[in-house]
Each structure stands twice: as structure tokens, then as C-alpha cells.
Amino acid sequence: MNRAGTVFLNIADGAKNGDRPLCQPASGCELFARKRWCLGTERSVPIFRTLVTLCVLATTAWAANWPTFRGPNGSGVAEGSAPTKWDATKNENILWKTPIPGLAHSSPVVWGGKVFITTAVSSDPSAVFKHGLYGDVEPSTDVSKHTWKVYCLDRDTGKILWEQVSHEGAPKTKRHPKSSQASSTPATDGKHVVAFFGSEGLYTYDMNGKLLWKQDLGILNAGWFYDPDYEWATASSPVIYKNLVIVQCDIQKNSFIAAFDLDTGKQAWKTPRAEIPSWGTPTIYEGKERAELVTNSTKSIRGYDPGTGKEIWTFNIKNSEVTATTPIVAKDLIIIANGYPPVQPIFAIRPGANGEFTLKEGQDKSDQIAWSKTRGGPYMPTPLAAGDLLYLVSNNGVVSAYQIATGERVYQQRLSPNQGTALSGSPVYADGKLYFPSEDGDVFVVKAGDKYELLSTNPVGEVLMATPAISDGTLFIRGEHSVFAIREKAK
């Protein structure tokens, strides 16, 4: 409103984008800008208030989406409320439970009123999956016919809205005894649903289940680099950047990272990588001057231009021989932590670098590295940043909290007195709470902050290998046999 009592309303064109909100919260609530102007007097204030309300609702809807592995930009962080206590074995605070056939460690993703999940169904009833803490790396012998599928569930009821078969046949590579043939989490932008099944291909559907395109990326043998016969299958998940879907394929030979047009499937770019197998998902850092596509891997940590695939920077450092965690962005730092023993580093990298850099012997910081540690990195679960703290959890259930700015450790605490607690899924955050899914079927809820406080231990009743999703006050958990929606009743 100007001094003359005139109200200027920015009119946006977002309504034509279907499921997308009227305004993008990333650029602020611009209320109808760019296309035309609406001019009124002070009597137009009620209209203005209504439009503000619509914009707030649209922004909330946008924030409620959990579109990829670990949610918005892989952060693991959701806005709004989230449940604290439940018991799926007694149906307490369980909104719905939907059985999903097959074996898969992919996580659910959520957009609007839909939940998407993938699976691989084996035709061998005696196929073995083994969870827990152990050192056996012999691949599974199940190479029987599999069916790779994508499911769409109603977010509020769990009803299966549609299912599509992406591929059928014998797996082209074996899997780790603790892994699955469908470990990559799908990605969606509200128009496309992208499912990556490794050697079985890359598939993109519309929101109603129509296949838009598919790509055969060849045989992707991601296994033990010491012995190519130890095939462990892929796990890196696709990410969506603007009009591109990007996949990181670190394998025994001819590793690469590539991008495909979301609408057509046409390859936009493909960049070779001098890497051995890895299983982490890339992350996009959106800076003021440029975006950086960050990848975690054994030989080097790298940053690319996500639009062209050009390598921008390379951090050459001794890293874990097996890398499975995803980079995260926090406080304008790129944080990567790995925990395959004996090398278990944590790095806080400043964005904006160019060319190659490293840390000299005995250094723990440099112009490009804000801080680093040689010990403490997690093996499987990806780190989580919330507020000023970075949270890490080891495979055997020890949580550590660090100051993001300095790397100073704040506390270290075991989640459970049970020494055998195993974790593979990554922690997520909402409503001041941290959620840690354990393979034993419990989710530990911990209060976020500089003092450890366990709020609850919640049984799900199934083995938990996947990372939860959070949307609109509901926690979505993928168990070994079912997908659960957990929501506390309104007080």
C-alpha cells in the first residue's frame, strides 16, 4: 500500500502449473508478479489478505513435499509438526499400513496427495536377505526372475492408486546380502516420477503412471573393487535439477555421472569419472553465483556444473574405501562424512572453489576446508544438520553432535543400551526432533539440541533399512514388507 492508500498486488502465473504452488517460497511470496498488475484502493485490503492467505497455503503445500532421497535437496529436514510416539505393533498412531511385495531399501517420496515407492519382486521364495551387524560380503545367489515396479499410494489412506512394471527378467548383477535390487529412492517434481533401477534402467512416469521414457544405462556393476565377482548392486538415487534428472554411476569400470532431459529422456550430458564403486547420492549446492553438483567418492570429492556436467573442483584426499553417504549443505558449507574403517573422515568444504585442492599432512583446515576430522564419520547413515548442529550416527547406534561452524564435538551418546543395535537408514528431522530408524524395527526420537535427550523408542514391527519421509505432520516409513503412515491424533 502506498501513501495515497493504493494497494499494488503482484499477480503471478503459477496457477497454470497444476500441482505446483502459486508462488515459489524460494523467491518469496511475490503474489502475482511478472505478468500483470492489479490496482485497487484501501477497500481492496480484504482481497489482499485473501491472496496472502492463498500464498501462505501454497507455500505450506510446497514445504510439505518430500521429493527425493532425504527430502528437499537431500537435507533430511522437514517443516511443520511430526509425531513423537507410536507403536505399529499395537496400531497406535498408525494412520495406515500398506503391504508392498518384494525386497527394496528405497525410501518413500511424497508430492501433494501421493506417495511413491519402488520395489523388486523375486520369483525365488527361498531368497535370503540378512540384516544386522556382520562382515559377510558374499553376494546373494538370487538371480531368479525379478519384477521391478513403481507404486503410487494415496497419502491419506494408503490406497494403491496405480502400479507399473518397469522391467522383468533376471538381474544383470548380483546384490549384497544386506542390500536389494531396488535400493535407489525415486524422485519427483510434481510432474515426473523418476525411478532408477541400476542395470535394469532409468524410468520416468507422469503423476498418473504413464511411462514417458526409459533409458538403458548398461550393466552397472557396483561391487567390491578388490574382486569384481563380488557384485553388490547400485544404491545412488536420482536427483532433479531444473529440467534435468542426474544419476551418479560409480562402478567397477567406466564410472560416470550423467543428466537426461526430464520431458524426453534425451541425454543432456555425460561426464566420465575416474572412480571405483560408490553408493552415495549427489547433492546440489545453490549458491548466489553458481550451483555446484557435489559427489562423494573414494578417490576424490568433486563439484560439477549441474547444467553442463563440467567438473569445477576436485578435493583430492584419502577417503574411505567404501563411500555410501550423501553430501549435505549446512550454514553455507558442504559437509561430507564417511566411516568405512579405518578411514572415517568428516569434511566441511567451502563452496566456490576452482581446480584441484587438498589438505597437506597434519592440516585440518585450509582456504577451501573450513574444518575436518580424521575420525568420527558414519559408514552408512548420511549426516544431518539442524540448527547450528551436525548430527552423525554410526552403524552400531552411537550419535555424535558437532558445531557446524567449528567442528567442535558437543556430545556423543549411544541410542540404545543394546550393543547390537544396527542402523542403515539415515536420520531425518522435524519439529525439533531427530528420527533414527534402526534395522531392528525401532525408531528412536531424540530432542535436537546440545544435550542428548531420548524422547521415545517406537516399535514398527518390521526390519527398517530405508530412510523415513516426513510430510504435513505425517511420518512415512518403509519397512521390509510394508509402508507405514504415522500421525499423532490431534490434541
Identify the pLDDT of residue 69.
98
Worst-scoring range by mean pLDDT, 58-62, 227-231, 405-409? 58-62
Report domain extents, the chain: 7-63, 65-486
Identify the pLDDT of residue 229.
83
pLDDT band at 49 (very low <50, low <70, confident <90, very high): low
Kindly report, residue by residue over 24-34, the tens digit of the pLDDT. Answer: 333 333 333 33
Cell of 440: 531392528
Please answer whether residues 431 and 83 qualify as being in contact, where contact means their C-beta atoms are separated by less than 8 angstroms.
no
What is the DSSP annotation of 186-231? PEE-SSEEEEE-GGG-EEEEETTS-EEEEE-------B-TT-TT-B
The pTM of this model reads: 0.87
Identify the pLDDT of residue 342.
93
232 vs 302: CA distance, rounded Å: 23
Worst-scoring range by mean pLDDT, 42-56, 235-249, 300-314, 421-435? 42-56
Residue of higher predicted confidence among 125 and 467: 467
Residue of higher predicted confidence among 375 and 137: 375
- CATH number of the 65-486 domain: 2.130.10.10
pLDDT band at 491 (very low <50, low <70, confident <90, very high): low
Query: Which residues lie below 8 Å from residue 466, measured CB to CB, with a gap of 6+?
Result: 104, 105, 106, 107, 108, 185, 425, 437, 477, 478, 479
Sign of torsion, CA 164 169 172 178? positive
Sheet holding 267-273, edge to edge: 239-241, 244-249, 255-261, 267-273
Which residue is listed with cell 535400493?
Answer: 183
68 vs 72: CA distance, rounded Å: 7
Look at residue 60 and give its three-state secondary structure. helix
385 vs 476: CA distance, rounded Å: 20
